[in-house]
Amino acid sequence: MSLDPATVRRIARLARIGIDESDLPALQGELNGILGWVEQLNEVDVEGVTPMVGTGHAALRTRPDVVTDGNCRDAVLSNAPDAVGPFYTVPKVVE
Amino acid sequence: MSLTELTIADAAAGLRARKFSAVELVRAHTDAITALNPRLNAYITPTADAALQAASHADEALAKNEARPLTGIPLGIKDLFCTHGVRTTAASNILKNFVPPYESTVTANLLRDGAVFVGKTNLDEFAMGSANITSAFGPVENPWKRNGDAETKLVPGGSSGGSAAAVAAGLAMGATGTDTGGSIRQPAAYCGIVGLKPTYGRCSRFGTIAYASSLDQAGPMARSVRDCAIMLQSMAGFDPRDSTSVNCDVPDYSAAVGRSLKGLKVGIPAEYRAEGLSAEIEAAWQQGIEWLKAAGCEIVDVSLPHTKYGLATYYIVAPAECSSNLARYDGLRFGERVPGDTLDAMYEATRRAGFGPEVRRRIMMGTYVLSAGYYDAYYLKAQKVRSLIRRDFTESFQKVDVLLTPTAPTPAFAQGEKTDDPVQMYLNDIFTVPASMAGMPAMSVPVGLGATGLPLGLQLIGRPFDEETLLAAGSALENAAGFTHRPAIRAEGAK
């Protein structure tokens, strides 16, 4: 499997990472290098093997459906790059 | 002996015997940081003033005989653990001004037990790296030097490279690390200290900035096995705020240090005699086998046939989880923002400027392997191979109690080496990644110096939640090796 420049652009778009056209050749080479290397997994017979999700040391727990946190608006907003009053600001998203 | 050369165990005893005060102990370390950090770059944010204030509180507690296990002990904290009111960067530009309004569970546990934090240690950006060269705050220099070569700067390993360098050089008595694929054990080996990655679920992940959530695990780094036991005692424990925290008792880890190894079965996995294993590390491994035999262990050859697929599996699973975890850095709620005309333009500019090249690469790899049409071929396949890797360990642990392997294929390398090809860098973690994939506890112990005068580490891998056997076998290796070598650059020598 080899990625072409259009696919690298599409991945960057999906990941919301801006790239310059001048980045493309190096990025394409690096990603293809990694993908070529992970191809070795094709040697492994995984017929009937259950995929491992988590390490299985404990089952996921449930907890009572109660409020355990809150009333900390200022703390939540304290690291906002741009806040106005009790709100985060965002670029205009509705035309 | 200089205060910066003491073990945590000896310092705790010295504080109680009033041989020195906590302020003296902490000041020795903050002074060492002032002297050596400009060169080593082990700390991103030293916190001397807060540390000295905490030290005077520690002296008050000692005077009232209210000392806790770590009262007055100066520790470094990897800058991946959120610390209330103290900048926490993950070594990334995107978090360069992030001041957490809460405390991670692991650091809260250490504070509860009296520890004094002397600073936030450097790391690879978001813990992604094996040489501590991807930090937005610059690389960390390994305090060790090759024989007769004071010039060449070596890497401390990564990602917990700042923690390892700080502990080795006497800029902290111990430090926290996190380990996703080897990030505690490999730097511990490169810097000649002990590093323990506990079982997945043993230490809470709450408040630790996430990289790959099914692998990330916090653990101690220190200059002795006993010191790691003391730190782990404090760091470990059930936390309802981490959904993967495991609710089982925390045993008395110090009691395991020095425990008899009579009849312990130690497995030697054939697959770790891999290509690229340096002759001196192979010799150290053989020596370790002899030492454990002399301590009463039975040596058993075992096979972990899927070992060679660990790294490739890791470099699908970890980037996949990273692409998902790092989606939260959107320039809106916290972190840095680069303006854009549209929401998407703002996201793209923010993430382009905020993340370094290795982080961007892993996010993109992860995005690809999770994308429509490729999920089954890459991600699902990797999850299945991961099951086989775990099965290898589970089957081995029916025959043996613990495994002994090298920690890394070579000693520390120089800054600038292995940087052209990401895959070459990834190969440093060939021996540490499999235990991470399986969630098993593992520890690196320094056992000697190689031909060039650099420390070599051996790795012990144990059954889930059997950190005690690691500590017992680790202390046997430590005693047999009598590793008292110290790096060229260290606090004591600086004075």
Mutate to test the interface with B, among A2, A9, A10, A17 (most CBs of B within 10 A): A17
Mutate to test the interface with B, among A1, A4, A27, A57 (most CBs of B within 10 A): A57
φ, ψ dihedrals at B201, nearest 5°: 100, -10
CB pairs under 8 A between A and B: 164
Selected residues 27-66 of chain A with any CB under 8 Å from a CB in chain B: 27, 30-31, 33-35, 37-38, 40-41, 44, 46, 49-58, 60-61, 63
Task: Detail the DSSP E strand segments found in B211-363.
Answer: 217-222, 265-269, 298-302
Tell me B139's DSSP state.
P
The residue-averaged pLDDT of B256-268 equals 97
φ, ψ dihedrals at B207, nearest 5°: 85, 5
pTM above 0.90, yes or no: yes
- Is residue B1 pLDDT above 80, yes or no? no
> Could you tell me the residue ranges of all domains in chain A?
5-43
Closest CA–CA distance from residue A51 to any residue of chain B (Å): 4
- In DSSP notation, B57-87 reads HHHHHHHTT---TTTT-EEEEETTB-BTTB-
Residue B184 inside a domain? The answer is: yes
The tens digit of pLDDT for each residue in B113-159 reads: 999 999 999 999 999 999 999 999 999 999 999 999 999 999 999 99
d(CA B181, CA B340): 36
The tens digit of pLDDT for each residue in B152-189 reads: 999 999 999 999 999 999 999 999 999 999 999 999 99
B337 contacts B331 by C-beta, under 8 angstroms: yes
Contacts of B372 (CB under 8 A, 6+ apart): none
Residue B377 inside a domain? The answer is: yes
Total count of residues recorded for chain A: 95
**Nearest by CB: A44 against B247, B347, B385:** B385
* B179 to B80, B176, B210: CA distances (angstroms): 11, 10, 11
Q: Comparing A2-6, B122-126, B459-463, B468-472, which segment has the lowest mean pLDDT?
A: A2-6
Q: How many helices (H) and strands (E) does chain B have?
A: 17, 11
What residues make up the domain containing B410? 18-495
φ, ψ dihedrals at B464, nearest 5°: -55, 130
The residue-averaged pLDDT of B452-466 equals 98
End-to-end CA distance of chain A: 40
Structure tokens at B44: 């991103």
**B361 and A56 in contact by Cβ < 8 A?**
no
B216 contacts B78 by C-beta, under 8 angstroms: no
Q: Which residue of B has its CA nearest to A87?
A: B333
Confidence of residue B427 (pLDDT cuts 50, 70, 90): confident
The residue-averaged pLDDT of B198-224 equals 97
The tens digit of pLDDT for each residue in B321-357 reads: 999 999 999 999 999 999 999 999 999 999 999 999 9
3.20.170, 1.10.3470, 1.10.20, 1.10.10: which CATH number matches A5-43?
Answer: 1.10.20
Residue (of B193, B172, B166) closest to B447 by Cα position: B193
The amino acid sitting at B109 is N
d(CA A15, CA B359): 12
- Is residue B483 pLDDT above 80, yes or no? yes
A90–B contact, CB cutoff 8 A: yes
**B214 and A16 in contact by Cβ < 8 A?**
no
Q: Write down the pLDDT at residue B495.
A: 44
**Nearest by CB: A90 against B332, B351, B382:** B332
Tell me B443's DSSP state.
E
Residue (of B358, B413, B153) closest to A30 by Cα position: B358
Chain B positions touching A63 (Cβ under 8 A) are 240
Q: If you search the block for the tokens 């495994």, which residue do you land on?
A: B403
Q: If you search the block for the tokens 């090759």, which residue do you land on?
A: B146
Residue B11 inside a domain? The answer is: no
Closest CA–CA distance from residue A31 to any residue of chain B (Å): 7
Q: Comparing A78-92, B250-264, B349-363, B447-461, which segment has the lowest mean pLDDT?
A: A78-92
B195 contacts B185 by C-beta, under 8 angstroms: yes
Number of domains in chain B: 1
Tell me B127's DSSP state.
G
Q: Write down the pLDDT at residue A55.
A: 76
d(CA B213, CA B186): 20
The answer to ipTM > 0.90 is yes
B125 contacts B135 by C-beta, under 8 angstroms: yes
> Between B84 and B417, whose confidence is greater?
B84
CATH number of the domain where residue B442 is located: 3.90.1300.10
d(CA B445, CA B295): 16
Residue (of B299, B8, B22) closest to B174 by Cα position: B8
B380–A contact, CB cutoff 8 A: yes
d(CA A16, CA B327): 9
Residue B6 inside a domain? The answer is: no
The tens digit of pLDDT for each residue in B25-80 reads: 999 999 999 999 999 999 999 999 999 999 999 999 999 999 999 999 999 999 99
Longest dimension (CA), chain B: 70
Q: Per-residue pLDDT tens, chain A, 95 aa: give them.
A: 689 999 999 999 999 999 999 999 999 999 999 999 999 999 999 999 999 987 777 788 888 999 988 999 999 999 999 999 999 998 888 76
Q: Where are the alpha helices (DSSP H) in B236-338?
A: 253-256, 279-294, 310-325
**Nearest by CB: B387 against A1, A51, A75:** A51
Contacts of B184 (CB under 8 A, 6+ apart): B160, B177, B178, B195, B196, B197, B219, B221, B444
- Is residue B472 pLDDT above 80, yes or no? yes
The tens digit of pLDDT for each residue in B280-330 reads: 999 999 999 999 999 999 999 999 999 999 999 999 999 999 999 999 999
Mutate to test the interface with A, among B92, B384, B418, B437 (most CBs of A within 10 A): B384
Q: Write down the pLDDT at residue A9.
A: 96
